[in-house]
Amino acid sequence: MTTFYSEHSKAYVSVDCIIFGFDEGHLRILIGKRQMDPGRGEWSLYGGFVNHNESVDEAASRVLYELTGIKNIYMKQVHTFGAVDRDPGERVISVAYCALINVKDYDQSLLEEHEVQWVDLEKLPKLYSDHNKMVNKAITMLRRRINTEPLSFNLLPELFTLTQLQHVNEAILGEEIDKRNFRKKIKTIDFIEKTDLIDKETSKRGAALYRFNKTMYREESVSKL
């Protein structure tokens, strides 16, 4: 408590983003091959350094915007990774952020521009440095929170069917959910609104479209989803 700045050393601080999407019944994340040393050519999360004039959260938002072109992405800090040798080049302390986006919002051309791609969570390769740990922490966090916080909506379009919602939850939890029990539970949640619209894309019969009502959802009302 009597130390002074000058006696201490500084470190680079970076953010790394675990960007989740949902497609064809599976959770995927965006990863790319590193185009810089150290670790050139290894699979890696997308990240960036924290600039002097921005907060760490802002850096994460900026990096997400650079990569996706989307603002106001759902994003949560996961954990900070600070092993001395986690980056072989320099001392870099990295703050991992978990982000959820709707794959359909994502401009496919950006995939090529940034040379990243969607990879199925179950087929995740070995990633650079401690990035696999970051992914695991992020998933653990999602599983922990999914029953107390409305997360799934961020992975879906604004209008979605209950089957889609169920598939998202199943993908996050990694287990099947009973359809009737799931729908029963949804009926008790007041911020999931049924609309008059019918989706005819995914089934012949057609399925009712639902919407997440943000204004009806308050932080203090704990979701049961």
Partner DNA sequence: CCAAAAGTGTTCCGTCTACACCCATGG
Partner DNA sequence: CCATGGGTGTAGACGGAACACTTTTGG
Binding site residues, its own copies, CB under 8 A: 1-5, 7-13, 32, 34-36, 44, 46-57, 59, 77, 79-84, 89-93, 95, 114-115, 144
SS3 (DSSP) at 31: strand
- The partner in contact with residue 211, picked from its own copies, DNA, none with C-beta cut-offs of 5 to 8 angstroms by kind, is none
Least Å distance, CB 136 to DNA, is 24
Nearest alpha carbon to residue 13 among 85, 91, 78, 128? 91
Closer residue to its own copies (CB): 20 or 43: 43
The listed partner (DNA, its own copies, none) that binds 133, CB under 5 to 8 Å by sort, is none
Give the residue with the Cβ less far from DNA, 83 or 198.
198
Alpha-carbon distances, residue 87 vs 13, 16, 38 (angstroms): 11, 13, 8
Task: Determine how many CB atoms are found less than 10 A away from the CB of residue 199.
Answer: 17
Distance CA 50, CA 18 (A): 16
Contacts of 214 (CB under 8 A, 6+ apart): 191
- Choose the contact partner of 89 out of its own copies, DNA, none; CB within 5 to 8 A by kind: its own copies
CA–CA separation, 190 vs 58, rounded Å?
32
Looking only at residues 142 through 201 of this chain, which bind DNA when binding is defined by CB under 7 A? 161-163, 178-181, 183-185, 200
Binding site for DNA (CB under 7 A): 161-163, 178-181, 183-185, 200, 202-208, 224
